[in-house]
């Protein structure tokens, strides 16, 4: 009723309006409707923007939650809801740390964002179960700086952390590598990365090296080598070559480099650099021993063909210079005159005038008698002058020696029945030319020479001379065996035990005594070539890698290179060379088969296997004799000669044979 009355009154008033008033009323209504439409439009836009904002948040993988100063959730995105594991309707209004991540108190970053602590850093890492999150909290304020709410994100950085850990592990592996590692920019050759071994080997810091190129450290690197390496690397093959690297202090050392391209975001050069100083020294020592062994062998031949004392001494001097590569060799005989002079009896090489002008004696009371030659005669001991220009005992002859280029010398006494009757004097153009092993073998030469002179003087029979030479050869073999065991203490006694077993097998097989003796001598030095193998490989406690095993296999060739120049009555060099061949062709170095392999090598192959398996090694404990016999029995007729295998097994199982201690 009231509503009807009001409507009636409203119509009456409208009727009483003037036309102008009616028009004004209509305009007013139109403006009001337009304003309402614009407001509606704005609300719709705001709502669309809000929905788009919510949709955008829900597409993010990061967890996003908004909460008030009491940490009660105002909004969150879908990622947060999924981790919480409850519907949105149960999330809004709850304290966030009771929902996710669950804890007894807010995260440190939450407190920082709500200004409950004074720190400005509102970021931290949080472990939740097996995941790691980066927590960031930011307070949102109005235009007047008043706090509105906190926007909190949780970014899952688990994989990032795993990647960082893997990178750290990879860096640790690189830095603990025994070889230097270089990552190179192929075009400019600039070093992009290096490991700690590279820094240690070269004496530079990592920062210094990363400002350098390969040319700054490689002593031999030039355009020609660069072309060769690039060609090999572009063909996706590994480029391997030797070079010389220069340290920060200017010193150099030899290296072996293995390089190849790797494709990542772009091509990179990767180089493995190994310091081969020890290997080069071993090779040089092997070459030195090879040279002196050849000298010893040739000197023995010279003794066998000598008809008189003068010819013998001259032939020996010429052989020493020609085979040994020395500058000068001469023989002086101690005279029984009042001056106790030493008279040249033979000489070869450069410096005949030097020898003829020498004034030396064995009179200890005179300056000429206190030089190395006089001392060698008076004391009966070898005298070595490693630096002619700085040795006090060589002062009287220093100037003349420099004229002929003599840098080092060795004076070896010649004895008969314990009495010194002269010296063998050898000169080298290199300082420190005579190390212990070379001096020992030259002592052998002087002993043979002294014996030869004494034999000729006393007109002893050729048979006695030959017997002594054979004894000398056996002594040389014993010296070689000792040097191998000094280099590899872990297998000390190995060659002796193998030699005893090989000799016993050869006896049981029924070989002639002379052949048995040759097999025994070959076995005593069957590992001679290991003097050329780096010590860290010989004594490595773990399993050898492919490259290290290939290096080990070279010991048979190294031994053969040393022994092939020595004229033994037996094929010792060939036996040693073949002792790793197998009857089915699976051995090395040449894959010989069956009858292509010498009998002595077949016997050593079985004896070596049995001793090696039953004895302790750095990389494993001894496996015992039963395991060793099982190995040769299993491969009877394939790797090992059946007759040799049967004889060896019978020795241990039926005759009670035991390896020597």
What's the pLDDT score for residue 34? 61
| pLDDT tens per residue across span 414-472 | 998 889 999 999 999 999 989 888 888 899 889 989 988 888 877 655 555 455 556 66
Query: What φ, ψ does residue 162 adopt, rounded to 5°?
Result: -65, -40
Q: Where are the alpha helices (DSSP H) in 151-254?
A: 158-175, 196-202, 206-209, 214-217, 223-234
| pLDDT tens per residue across span 539-592 | 777 777 888 888 888 889 988 988 888 878 889 999 999 999 999 999 999 999
What's the pLDDT score for residue 9? 46
What's the pLDDT score for residue 23? 43
Round to whole Å and give the CA distance between 409 and 328: 9
Fold of 180-275: Beta-Lactamase (3.30.450)
Q: Does domain 64-161 have CATH number 3.30.420.40?
A: no
The percentage of residues in the chain with a pLDDT greater than 70, rounded to a whole number, is: 83
Question: Does 82 or 300 have the greater pLDDT score?
Answer: 82
Instruction: Find all residues with CB under 8 Å of 347, minimum gap 6, and list them.
Output: 317, 328, 329, 330, 331, 355
| pLDDT tens per residue across span 474-492 | 666 666 666 666 666 655 5
Burial (CB count within 10 angstroms: exposed 0-12, middle 13-18, buried 19+), residue 639: buried
Among 230, 194, 224, 228, which residue's Cα sits nearest to residue 209? 194
401: pLDDT strictly greater than 90: yes
Mean of pLDDT values over 526-541: 79
What's the pLDDT score for residue 618? 61
3-class DSSP assignment, residue 627: helix
Inter-CA distances, 419 with 97, 225, 243, 338, 472, Å:
102, 60, 52, 19, 20
Round to whole Å and give the CA distance between 517 and 519: 5
Round to whole Å and give the CA distance between 344 and 366: 19
187: pLDDT strictly greater than 50: yes
Right CATH for 472-653 from 3.40.50.720, 3.90.1200.10, 1.10.3210.10, 1.20.1070.10: 1.10.3210.10
What's the pLDDT score for residue 491? 56
Q: What's the gap between Cα 287 and its chain centre?
A: 23
Round to whole Å and give the CA distance between 343 and 422: 9
What's the pLDDT score for residue 12? 43
Round to whole Å and give the CA distance between 550 and 542: 16
| pLDDT tens per residue across span 30-79 | 555 665 666 667 667 666 766 676 777 788 889 999 999 899 999 999 99
**pLDDT, the chain, mean:** 83
Among 80, 159, 67, which residue's Cα sits nearest to residue 109? 67
The percentage of residues in the chain with a pLDDT greater than 90, rounded to a whole number, is: 41
| pLDDT tens per residue across span 232-268 | 656 666 778 888 999 999 999 999 988 888 877 788 8
| pLDDT tens per residue across span 219-236 | 777 777 667 666 665 666
What's the pLDDT score for residue 595? 93
Round to whole Å and give the CA distance between 89 and 83: 15
Mean of pLDDT values over 330-356: 93
pLDDT confidence tier of residue 525, bands split at 50, 70 and 90: confident
Architecture of domain 306-453: 2-Layer Sandwich (3.30)
What's the pLDDT score for residue 281? 83
121: pLDDT strictly greater than 60: no
Q: What is the DSSP letter of 80?
A: H
């Amino acid at each position: 009723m009231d509503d009807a009355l009001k409507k009636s009154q409203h119509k009456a008033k409208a009727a009483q309006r003037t036309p102008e008033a009616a028009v004004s009323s209509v305009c007013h209504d139109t403006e009001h409707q337009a304003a309402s439409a614009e407001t509606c439009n704005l609300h719709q836009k705001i709502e669309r923007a809000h929905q788009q904002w919510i949709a955008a948040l829900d597409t993010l993988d990061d967890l996003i939650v908004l909460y008030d100063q009491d940490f009660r959730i105002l909004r969150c995105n879908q990622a947060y809801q999924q981790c919480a594991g409850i519907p949105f309707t149960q999330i809004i209004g709850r304290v966030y740390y009771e929902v996710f991540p669950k804890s007894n108190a807010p995260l440190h970053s939450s407190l920082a964002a709500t200004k409950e602590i004074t720190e400005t850093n509102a970021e931290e890492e949080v472990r939740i179960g097996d995941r790691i999150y980066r927590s960031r909290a930011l307070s949102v304020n109005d235009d007047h700086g008043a706090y509105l709410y906190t926007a909190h994100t949780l970014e899952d950085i688990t994989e990032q952390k795993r990647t960082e850990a893997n990178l750290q592990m990879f860096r640790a592996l690189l830095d603990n590598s025994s070889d230097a590692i270089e990552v190179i920019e192929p075009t400019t050759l600039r070093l992009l990365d290096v490991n700690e071994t590279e820094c240690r080997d070269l004496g530079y810091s990592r920062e210094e090296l990363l400002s350098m190129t390969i040319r700054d450290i490689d002593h031999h690197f030039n355009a020609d080598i660069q072309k060769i390496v690039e060609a090999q690397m572009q063909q996706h093959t590994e480029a391997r070559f030797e070079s010389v690297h220069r340290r920060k202090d200017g010193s150099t050392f030899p290296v072996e480099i293995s390089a190849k391209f790797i494709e990542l975001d772009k091509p990179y050069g990767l180089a493995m650099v190994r310091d081969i100083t020890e290997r080069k020294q071993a090779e040089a020592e092997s070459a030195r021993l090879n040279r002196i062994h050849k000298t010893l062998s040739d000197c023995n031949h010279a003794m066998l063909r000598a008809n008189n004392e003068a010819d013998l001494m001259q032939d020996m001097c010429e052989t020493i210079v020609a085979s040994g590569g020395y500058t000068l060799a001469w023989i002086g005989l101690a005279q029984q005159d009042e001056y106790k002079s030493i008279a040249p009896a033979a000489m070869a090489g450069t410096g005949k005038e030097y020898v003829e002008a020498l004034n030396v004696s064995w009179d200890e009371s005179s300056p000429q008698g206190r030089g190395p030659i006089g001392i060698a005669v008076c004391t009966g001991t070898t005298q070595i002058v490693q630096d002619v220009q700085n040795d006090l005992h060589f002062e009287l002859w220093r100037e003349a020696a420099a004229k002929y280029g003599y840098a080092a010398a060795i004076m070896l006494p010649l004895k008969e029945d314990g009495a010194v009757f002269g010296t063998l004097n050898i000169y080298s153009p290199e300082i420190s030319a005579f190390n212990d092993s070379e001096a020992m073998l030259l002592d052998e030469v002087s002993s043979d020479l002294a014996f030869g002179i004494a034999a000729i003087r006393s007109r002893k029979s050729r048979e006695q001379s030959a017997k002594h030479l054979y004894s000398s050869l056996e002594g040389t073999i014993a010296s070689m065996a000792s040097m191998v065991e000094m280099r590899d203490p872990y297998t000390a006694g190995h060659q002796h035990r193998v030699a005893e077993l090989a000799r016993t097998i050869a006896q049981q097989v029924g070989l002639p005594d002379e052949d048995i003796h040759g097999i025994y001598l070959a076995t005593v030095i069957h590992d001679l070539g290991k003097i050329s193998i780096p010590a860290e490989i010989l004594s490595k406690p773990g399993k050898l890698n492919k490259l290290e095993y290939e290096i080990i296999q070279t010991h048979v060739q190294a031994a053969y290179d040393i022994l092939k120049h020595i004229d033994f009555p037996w094929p010792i060099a060939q036996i040693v060379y073949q002792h790793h061949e197998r009857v089915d062709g699976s051995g090395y170095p040449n894959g010989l088969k069956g009858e292509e392999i010498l009998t002595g090598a077949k016997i050593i192959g079985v004896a070596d296997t049995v001793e090696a398996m039953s004895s302790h090694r750095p990389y494993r404990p001894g496996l015992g004799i039963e395991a060793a016999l099982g190995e040769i029995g299993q491969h009877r007729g394939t790797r090992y000669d059946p007759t040799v295998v049967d004889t060896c097994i019978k020795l241990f199982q039926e005759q009670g044979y035991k390896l020597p201690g």
